[in-house]
A and B are shown apart, each in its own frame.
Chain A
Amino acid sequence: MTAAPATIEANAGAKGDAVGSILSVQGLAVAYRRGGRALDVVNGVSFDVRPGEIFGLVGESGSGKSTVIRSLIQLLPANADIGGGTVSFAGRDLLRLREREMRQVRGRDIGMVFQDPLNSLNPVMTVGAQIGETLRGAEGPGQSRRERILAAMRLVHIPDPERLYGAYPHELSGGLRQRVAIAIALVASPKLLLADEPTTALDVTIQDQILKLLMELSGRLGMSVILVTHDLGVVAQTCQRVAVLYAGRIVESGPVERVFAKPAHPYTAGLLQSIPRGPASEGRLKGIGGTPPSLDSIPAGCPFHPRCAFAIEACRTGRPPLAMHEANHLTACLRHGELPDLAHV
């Protein structure tokens, strides 16, 4: 297949406050205090999210993907410090908001869905009451409160909403609970939804239903979604653009079609070559050698260099910047211009 011509867009690159972005993250740095030391969990992360798009944030455990998404709305553990950066949203820097101001943003402007709906739902509150909590102070004219709650339940295709309005979370299946969690996130019509591994705890047939729902809602409501996941399949099927995180840094970002067809960072290529796509008798997985670094010993230079087949001396010392590879396609690999076709190595 010949590659489609790269689309040139006005806001290419990682420049801040790009026109046409709903959220712009610049140079985000987060450290965890642990045993008297500061561990860099997120280091210089920058990306933009466009209106109506599903933006994937993908990485393995410890890559910092959940920390990134939680720092956007200041939902970090007590031992985390935001060391720098800006998060521009609706003309404000979210990192500088006080807790009282942040509470206005959370839920109303930015909705959130997490991995385990059983932990994020209140076990002693009915479904209807929990969905209604987000509406407090945000009730619009016209529709009654109950009507808005029922409308949110219908929006996420909860069957028989009149009956389940009074149900408790433990009475629902895992898939239904996640639908309730999404209804809570959406009832106040946010412009942006943060979804942190929303389908990881679900069976594959239920995951399929929830992902379709997120795609439908994003399209229908024109809502942007940041989808954090470890699953490249989920990214390929749902996202328009993706950023790949490794050891707290973005190592590659771009349109999903480009990144999957022509990965420009050896780590992305290694991830893609770790996914089984047929029997072992037809070809062994290439995978990636070694293990990801632990937070207290992130290698100097490119953090991926000890596991990289293409590493040269410069990779051990210089920290590669996230640089333009092709239009809209960025990579933090010093050698990106001289690498072979990584998808077929």
Chain B
Amino acid sequence: MSDATTPDATMSDAKTSSRPGPIIELDGVVKAYRLSRPLGAMLAFQPRPMLQAVSEVSLAIETGETFGLVGESGCGKSTLGRLIVGLGAPDRGRITFRDQDIYLGSRRELRALRRQIQMVFQDPYASLNPRMTIGQAIAEPLRVHGVVPAGEVTAEVDRLLAQVGLSAGYAQRYPFELSGGQRQRVAIARALSVRPAVLVADEAVSGLDVSIQAQVLNLLVELRDRLGLTMVFISHDLGVVEYLSTRIAVMYLGRILELGPASAVFRRAGHPYTQALIRAIPAPDPARKTMREAVSGDLPSPVNPPSGCVFRTRCPKAQDICATMPPRVTLGQGHWAACHFANASGP
């Protein structure tokens, strides 16, 4: 069975001209944050500790695919998402959109380029201006980027609202009058207003109740297929990542430990961490008891990550060799795991 053909299957649904090949490429991307230090350390002129949120990440996101980025808190997935939309330059490495570096160029060039990559965040309440009506919030990017002539803005707002399943009447309302699910629909409408090629969704359904989450997930599937969007879907929830994604990357302490077609990663996870993550999901089925021996211990300090394989301090398979950098072991077409003992045994 070849899983490598799955991205093509979804791309054929897409209406717009999906140019084959990668739309976004990351090459050796590193992003570190300088942390504050206690007063004592400051007086002793100790350097501020560095937290490497993203370490040496290289990957290519194909046109039209939904790329899932999964991991637990502090793994760097949100930092990576922000780098992809142009929020905060990487310390090393480069990120390109259609072969153009998204951090190099004139302001005008960068603005045009970044319009192509939009983001939806977890908490739409924090990302919507409370003193602007929904209509004003959606009209703002339309005006700034001159997406439609000034006389057509109102009609375009109504069209965008309809596209996310909200009636035109919502244009007059304020964010506080909306439920969490409705606010997230507005955030999606606003992101899509500038007609981007790529939508980065960072925990976009995580704050929602499960019945509302299902509605928003289906909306994202529908919009993606209709508009031919490339999506980067970031979440801690493996279930929703599996639902949407064609390919998945698993992150831990700033590194990608495994990457491959979604079905391959779920059925034949090669990295012990991926296997543990999958085992730890409580299955909504009492007849199928999951949650057996997932993984012990806590996340090590990201300021001082383990050498070699960053997962080795919690890994049941760890040996001495794991203190050295693990190779990328190919497990199938487009599927690899960074582990000395990677094998395709299921979870």
The interface of chain A, by Cβ under 8 A from chain B, is 1, 60-61, 173, 175-176, 203-209, 211-212, 230-238, 256-257, 260-261, 270-281, 284-289, 291-292
Contacts and interface: CB of A to CB of B under 8 A. Distances in A.
B242 A276 contact: yes
A205 B290 CA distance: 12
Contacts of A273: 214
Nearest to A259: B286
28 contacts: A1-B287, A173-B298, A204-B72, A204-B238, A205-B72, A205-B294, A207-B282, A231-B282, A233-B284, A234-B282, A236-B282, A237-B286, A237-B289, A260-B284, A260-B287, A271-B211, A275-B214, A276-B239, A279-B242, A279-B244, A279-B245, A281-B9, A285-B214, A285-B218, A285-B243, A287-B215, A288-B215, A289-B215
A256 B286 CA distance: 7
Contacts of B291: 208, 211-212, 237
B341 to A, nearest CB: 19
B337 to A, nearest CB: 17
Contact of B179 (A275, A280, A284, A291): A291
A289 B213 CA distance: 11
Contacts of A233: 281-284
Interface residues of B, number: 46
A237 B243 contact: no
B221 interface: yes
B222 to A, nearest CB: 9
B294 A236 contact: no
A279 B243 contact: yes
Nearest to A61: B209
A180 to B, nearest CB: 13
B276 interface: yes
Interface in B223-259: 236, 238-240, 242-245
A287 B298 CA distance: 35
A204 B221 contact: no
Given A205-B277, A291-B181, A277 B239 contact: yes
B69 to A, nearest CB: 15
B209 A230 contact: yes
A260 B291 CA distance: 18
A12 to B, nearest CB: 20
